[in-house]
Amino acid sequence: MSEQKIEQAKRMVKGLRGQSKAQVFKVWIQVCLGRVHNAKVGEQRKDWMIYDIIKAQFDKEIADQVA
């Protein structure tokens, strides 16, 4: 696992955590919509969405470390 990817993922997590839940939900839909149908912002936890976004952009191992 590359140190550069981990740092990039950490920056992404920090940026996502600074956004509102609605903004994170919008990113989550764009990145992860292929496996989600009829999702509503009120039904999703922000931390879970951030983890899912990082996992989709990088991989599970990096998401487990930084998200």
Return the pLDDT at 38.
59
Q: Which two tokens stand for residue 4?
A: 């550069």
Return the pLDDT at 11.
96
Q: What is the 3-state secondary structure (H, E, C) of the chain?
A: CCHHHHHHHHHHHHHHHCCCHHHHHHHHHHHHHHHCCCCCHHHCCHHHHHHHHHHHHCCHHHHHHHC
What's the pTM value of the predicted model, to 2 decimals? 0.72
Return the pLDDT at 39.
66
- Cα–Cα distance, 13 to 24 (Å, whole number): 10
8-12, 34-38, 43-47, 59-63: which has the minimum mean pLDDT? 34-38
pLDDT digits (tens, 9 = 90+) for 6-34: 999 999 999 999 999 999 998 988 888 75
